Amino acid sequence: MTEQTYKLTYSTMFDPPASLHERFDAALGEARATMGAEHAMRVGAHAVTADDCFELRSPIDRELLLGRFQNGTAAHAGQAVRAAREAFPAWSHTPWRERVAILRRAAALIEERVWAMSACLSIEVGKNRMESLGEVQETADLIAWYCDRMEENEGFDRRLPNDPLTGFTSHNRTRLRPYGVWAVIAPFNFPFALAGGPVGAALVTGNTAVFKTASDTALSGTLLMQAFRDAGLPDGVLNHVTGPGSTIGEALASHPDVAGITFTGSAQVGMSIAREFAGGRWPRPCIAEMGGKNAAIVSDRADLERAAAGIVRSAFGLQGQKCSACSRVYVQRGAAAELRDRLVALTDAIKVGDPTLRENWMGPVINRSARERFRRAVDAIGEAGTILAGGRLLTEGALERGWFVAPTVAAAPRDHYVWREEQFAPLVLIDEVESVHEAIALANASDYGLTAGFYGGADEIDGFLDRIEAGVVYVNRPQGATTGAWPGYQPFGGWKASGSTGKAIGSFWYLPLYMREQSQTVVD
Ligand SMILES: NC(=O)c1ccc[n+]([C@@H]2O[C@H](COP(=O)([O-])OP(=O)(O)OC[C@H]3O[C@@H](n4cnc5c(N)ncnc54)[C@H](O)[C@@H]3O)[C@@H](O)[C@H]2O)c1
Ligand SMILES: N[C@@H](CCC=O)C(=O)O
């Protein structure tokens, strides 16, 4: 994306070339100049407006208006589903190589627009510049990965041997075919990658789609949809609605003509959608990617410099608002004091502020209710446990205009709710254990099973990999204890309450989730 030898991923983003910063700074200025406009939804060939709009402001500075977006209703969800249904016959019969070509164009456009898109993303979500650039690039890489899988599998259409018959010839074939209208509902924290990835997968496999972005990230959703449209998708193949999850999101998820859904968000909403999709006249596919309560385990034999770096990066990257964020640390007693000291020192050194600026690594949390959830958690820990670093809201100077909080390391009794419930905030808890065995048992004693990290000796690794109940695991990784998967390198998906399918995004097994098998036998 910039200098020829540099490939941006979440594990290479710590030491980018200088030219990357110059281009990002230029893009920021341009992005700010475009903000504040009103944006329509998109249904079929039409830009659609609702009776009223909502205003979207930056979590960095509430005075900065990003745009006005439509407060879509259940009726708009219905219109969008109808448009997608009408477009389905032609799109599903479009030769798969043509669909791949259009989606490759979408990926290329996203990559081309990486600077403009990531500048907007940084202002809208409060991601730092490297996380923002990373996410937009990840979106392009996910779509390209799905195009590659389509090609590698020859469109998921295979000839099988003829039946061993005499006197007849039976031609046998198995095909994976699209379901129909696919809904994609995305979370605020990865509004490009976790929208563009599933939209790309749904479309390349021949489904048509209705997309709903999170309201906090309506601008990113709009920019992403523009890129798909500019790639040449026929009208109606991809429709885009905005508005509250509890109204238009709910209407979309419960629409009887939606054949399948990819929901990424909280377990609370995801589980209710999964139940709805299992409870109709027949079960419909529901890919629900949900939350995490991800643990890092540190043994007495760990390299503590690596462990501390990896934990801090995963606990506080994007302000702890990643499903993969490290929110629990179990450290063996012999290493506990040193690890605690290192974590506190690294945490105290984190620069928090406007994350579009190169010098700041941490930005604000997304909105007032996220800051309130953080405040409640640290107040509760203050009463029952110990705050080791941070533990407060940040309101000094310009920070007062945004939703800033201090990265926090704390200890709390094991039965405290903060050990159980995802806080989605920059808050990591630490506890001492007698053995790695005990640590793994504690890590697994969670409804969630998304990511996990381990730092320890070579002969401890297999035991960890074998027993840990998580879909994405990392060992001795300073770049991130529990975060930082990249398409093609680390497939990403959760077990238990973290994911409904047991298969990961960016994996070899993902596209078949968007299709159903038809075995065809034709006798001459
Ligand atoms: N497993 C993963 O890959 C993954 C990735 C990113 C985020 N997440 C999870 O997402 C959550 C954070 O994102 P969020 O705060 O946007 O989540 P959320 O559940 O509040 O919202 C997610 C999306 O669902 C919509 N929505 C809300 N209520 C709805 C309803 N009743 N019916 C239909 N749609 C509804 C929202 O508008 C939004 O677009 C965290 O729990 C995080 O762990 C998981
Ligand atoms: N894919 C990201 C997390 C996405 C969820 O929020 C990671 O691997 O850290």
Which residue, 70, 233, 260, 83, is CA-closest to 179?
260
C-alpha–C-alpha distance, residues 307 and 81, integer Å: 48
Q: Is the CB of 290 under 6 A from ligand 1?
A: yes
Which residue, 498, 364, 474, is CA-closest to 425?
364
Q: Give the pLDDT confidence score for residue 17 in this predicted structure.
A: 86
Residue 289 appears among annotated catalytic residues = yes
Ligand with smallest separation from the Cα of 491: 2
C-alpha–C-alpha distance, residues 258 and 408, integer Å: 42
- Using left for φ > 0, alpha for ψ between -120 and 50, and beta otherwise, residue 416 falls in beta
Residue of 289, 422, 432, 460 with catalytic role: 289
Ligand with smallest separation from the Cα of 262: 1
Is the fold of 23-160+174-290+502-515 the same as that of 294-485? no
Domain ranges of the chain: 23-160+174-290+502-515, 294-485
Q: Is the CB of 483 under 6 A from ligand 1?
A: no
C-alpha–C-alpha distance, residues 480 and 42, integer Å: 38
C-alpha–C-alpha distance, residues 422 and 187, integer Å: 15
Q: Give the pLDDT confidence score for residue 4 in this predicted structure.
A: 60
Which residue, 259, 379, 361, 263, is CA-closest to 320?
361
Going from the Cα of 139 to the center of ligand 2, the distance in angstroms, rounded, reads 12
SS3 content of the chain, % helix, strand, coil (to 5): 45, 20, 35
Cα separation values, 498 from 249, 405, 422, 520, Å:
20, 26, 11, 36
Q: Which atom of ligand 1 is nearest to the CA of 270?
A: 19
Q: Give the pLDDT confidence score for residue 8 in this predicted structure.
A: 82
Going from the Cα of 157 to the center of ligand 2, the distance in angstroms, rounded, reads 32
Superfamily of domain 23-160+174-290+502-515: Aldehyde Dehydrogenase; Chain A, domain 1 (3.40.605.10)
- Residue written as tokens 């506890």? 431
Q: Give the pLDDT confidence score for residue 3 in this predicted structure.
A: 55
178 with 206: CB under 8 angstroms? Answer: yes
411 DSSP β-pair partners: 386
> Fold for domain 294-485?
Aldehyde Dehydrogenase; Chain A, domain 2 (3.40.309)
Going from the Cα of 214 to the center of ligand 1, the distance in angstroms, rounded, reads 8
The sign of the CA dihedral 152, 153, 154, 160 is: positive
C-alpha–C-alpha distance, residues 516 and 86, integer Å: 20
Going from the Cα of 333 to the center of ligand 2, the distance in angstroms, rounded, reads 30
**Strand 258-264 versus strand 427-433 pairing type:** unpaired
Does ipTM top 0.95?
yes
Most ligand 2 atoms within 8 A of CB, residue of 131, 190, 321, 510 to mutate: 190
Q: Name the residue at shortest CA distance from atom 1 of ligand 2.
A: 485
Q: Name the residue at shortest CA distance from atom 27 of ligand 1.
A: 245
Ligand with smallest separation from the Cα of 486: 2
DSSP string of 421-447? S---SSEEEEEEES-HHHHHHHHHSSS
SS3 (DSSP) at 10: coil
pLDDT in 10s for each residue of the chain, 524 residues: 555 678 888 878 888 888 899 999 999 999 999 999 999 999 999 999 999 999 999 999 999 999 999 999 999 999 999 999 999 999 999 999 999 999 999 999 999 999 999 999 999 999 999 999 999 999 999 999 999 999 999 999 999 999 999 999 999 999 999 999 999 999 999 999 999 999 999 999 999 999 999 999 999 999 999 999 999 999 999 999 999 999 999 999 999 999 999 999 999 999 999 999 999 999 999 999 999 999 999 999 999 999 999 999 999 999 999 999 999 999 999 999 999 999 999 999 999 999 999 999 999 999 999 999 999 999 999 999 999 999 999 999 999 999 999 999 999 999 999 999 999 999 999 999 999 999 999 999 999 999 999 999 999 999 999 999 999 999 999 999 999 999 999 999 999 999 999 999 999 999 999 999 999 999 99
Q: Is the CB of 494 under 6 A from ligand 1?
A: yes
SS3 (DSSP) at 95: coil
- Edge to edge, the sheet with strand 38-39 lists 38-39, 65-70, 53-57
122 residue type, one letter: S
Going from the Cα of 145 to the center of ligand 2, the distance in angstroms, rounded, reads 17
Most ligand 2 atoms within 8 A of CB, residue of 190, 324, 327 to mutate: 324
